[in-house]
């Protein structure tokens, strides 16, 4: 089969992707994905490539029928020694790879009927998806205008869960499933026949959540303490990483010092992207009064204890009331970790205003930590 020619409307997908990708309220780094369907071909964003910089030449064309056939396949017939999604993606590819791998979310892009599909991780929407009462809250706020899907491991299980939720919604309401899908502890999917449809549906959903948040006043936060440069340098030295960035963001520093903030930090991650870019467990440093030398040794000992406990050193060190330190193998990686950490602190605070926080469970978290596809995405995002 000859390589398909991208239709003119791919430009509409690229503009949509770039616009949402450039907005930190919706996505960070290589997170999120987008697609377009035309003439039986699914044009899909590659894994790890930022939406903000996505270009037409980046898109991976896939035979949609082959992808849909995987959803109908008998699970017993699928190979157990390879990821069936990636194996099927390789078979469905309609152009040379050029080192690109299609998004791991390719199946739900294939199964959704709308021409354009955009998946993001909005801070405001995730106040609902990461809420301890998420399903009931979503029903109250959005009614039958959105489909709720409980957290499910990505790949084939998530695609099956979306099919089941859409089928149940249609059976209950007597109408086709709506273009908005809320993924518990994950994010938002919006479909549309045009990019304008996605803009409209997204703006409506965010507006509904913002109106609900306005009914619940923000918590009173303590004033942050000034960051002592010598102490900050001691923490960086104790973490001993190739690159580090300190941020004295007033909200993050103050929220981390509250009971709710401390409970969030101790409870583990909220969404897969948090695991990919910041690690599952931040190091919380109660430095108190002490010399830089003491803080350096305290940090080093705490980081070693975390490494022994979790098998990997901390990416984030939080100093409640002061700020946070993000680390990485490069300045770019450290910056991304910092940005994602700040976003998730805001998601946690908003979720608390709407009722409470649901952390990912240990099996959910462990799957992402060990999933090769997410390690690949992090690598691509880190190297560009």
For the chain, which residues make up each domain, given as ranges?
A: 10-214, 229-361
The per-residue pLDDT for 98 is 77
Q: What is the mean pLDDT of residues 253-269?
A: 96
Q: What is the mean pLDDT of residues 14-42?
A: 96
The CATH fold of domain 10-214: L-fuculose-1-phosphate Aldolase (3.40.225)
Q: What is the mean pLDDT of residues 132-151?
A: 98
pLDDT in tens, 52-102: 999 999 999 999 999 999 999 988 788 777 888 988 999 999 988 777 888
Comparing CA positions, the residue from 65, 99, 71, 100 lying closest to residue 85 is: 71
- Report whether pLDDT(374) > 90: no
- Report whether pLDDT(380) > 80: no
Helix (H) or strand (E) holding 161: helix 156-173
Class of domain 229-361: alpha beta
- Report whether pLDDT(381) > 70: no
- 1 confidence band (pLDDT: 50, 70, 90): low
- Report whether pLDDT(252) > 80: yes
What does the alpha-carbon distance between residue 290 and residue 64 come to, in Å, rounded to a whole number? 61
- 376 confidence band (pLDDT: 50, 70, 90): low
Give yes or no for a contact between 34 and 117, defined as CB atoms under 8 angstroms apart: yes
Percent of the chain beyond pLDDT 90?
82
What does the alpha-carbon distance between residue 384 and residue 376 come to, in Å, rounded to a whole number? 12
- 3-class secondary structure per residue, 12-34: HHHHHHHHHHCCCCCCCCCCCEE
Mean pLDDT of the chain: 93
The per-residue pLDDT for 379 is 60
pLDDT in tens, 346-361: 999 999 999 999 999 9
Q: What is the mean pLDDT of residues 306-322?
A: 93
The per-residue pLDDT for 3 is 83
Q: What is the mean pLDDT of residues 237-261?
A: 96
pTM here is 0.94
Q: What is the mean pLDDT of residues 203-215?
A: 98
Compute φ and ψ for 132, nearest 5 degrees: -65, -20
- 146 confidence band (pLDDT: 50, 70, 90): very high
The per-residue pLDDT for 276 is 94
175 burial level (CB within 10 Å; 0-12, 13-18, 19+) = exposed
Percent of the chain beyond pLDDT 70?
96
What does the alpha-carbon distance between residue 145 and residue 178 come to, in Å, rounded to a whole number? 6
Q: What is the mean pLDDT of residues 22-44?
A: 95
Helix (H, G, I), strand (E, B) or coil at 266: helix
Q: What is the mean pLDDT of residues 223-229?
A: 92
Do 10-214 and 229-361 fold alike per CATH? yes
The per-residue pLDDT for 2 is 72
The per-residue pLDDT for 235 is 96
- Report whether pLDDT(372) > 70: no
pLDDT in tens, 268-278: 999 999 999 99
Comparing CA positions, the residue from 120, 277, 281, 271 lying closest to residue 191 is: 120
Give yes or no for a contact between 207 and 25, defined as CB atoms under 8 angstroms apart: no
b/e code 203-230 from CB counts within 10 Å (16+ = b): eebbebbeebeeeeeeeebeebeebeee
149 burial level (CB within 10 Å; 0-12, 13-18, 19+) = buried
The per-residue pLDDT for 77 is 82
């Amino acid at each position: 089969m000859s390589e398909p020619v991208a239709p003119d409307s791919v430009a509409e997908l690229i503009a949509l992707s770039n616009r949402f990708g450039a907005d930190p309220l919706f996505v960070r780094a290589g997170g999120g994905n987008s697609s377009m369907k035309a003439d039986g071909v699914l044009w899909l964003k590659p894994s790890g490539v930022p939406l903000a910089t996505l270009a037409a030449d980046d898109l991976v064309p896939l035979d949609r029928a082959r992808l849909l056939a995987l959803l109908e396949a008998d699970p017993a017939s699928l190979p157990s020694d390879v990821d069936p999604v990636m194996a099927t993606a390789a078979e469905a590819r309609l152009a040379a790879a050029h080192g690109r791998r299609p998004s791991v979310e390719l199946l739900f892009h294939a199964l959704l009927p709308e021409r354009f599909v955009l998946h993001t991780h909005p801070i405001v929407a995730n106040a609902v998806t990461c809420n301890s009462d998420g399903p009931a809250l979503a029903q109250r706020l959005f009614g039958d205008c959105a489909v709720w899907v409980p957290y499910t491991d990505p790949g084939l299980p998530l695609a099956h869960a979306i099919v089941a939720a859409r089928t149940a919604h249609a059976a209950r309401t007597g109408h086709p499933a709506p273009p908005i899908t809320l993924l518990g502890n994950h994010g938002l999917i919006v479909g549309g026949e045009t990019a304008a449809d996605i803009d409209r549906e997204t703006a409506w959903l965010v507006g509904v959540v913002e109106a609900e948040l306005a009914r619940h006043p923000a918590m009173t936060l303590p004033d942050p303490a000034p960051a002592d440069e010598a102490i900050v340098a001691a923490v960086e030295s104790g973490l001993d990483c190739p690159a580090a960035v300190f941020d004295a963001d007033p909200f993050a520093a103050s929220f981390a010092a509250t009971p709710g903030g401390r409970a969030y930090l101790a409870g583990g991650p909220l969404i897969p992207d948090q695991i990919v870019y910041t690690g599952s467990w931040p190091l919380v440093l109660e430095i108190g009064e002490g010399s830089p030398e003491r803080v350096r040794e305290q940090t080093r000992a705490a980081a070693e204890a975390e490494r022994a406990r979790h098998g990997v050193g901390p990416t984030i060190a939080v100093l409640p009331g002061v700020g946070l330190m993000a680390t990485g193998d490069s300045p770019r990686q450290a910056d991304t970790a910092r940005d994602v950490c700040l976003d998730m602190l805001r998601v946690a605070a908003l979720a608390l205003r709407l009722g409470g926080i649901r952390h990912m469970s240990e099996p959910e978290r462990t799957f992402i930590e060990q999933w090769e596809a997410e390690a690949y995405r992090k690598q691509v995002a880190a190297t560009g």
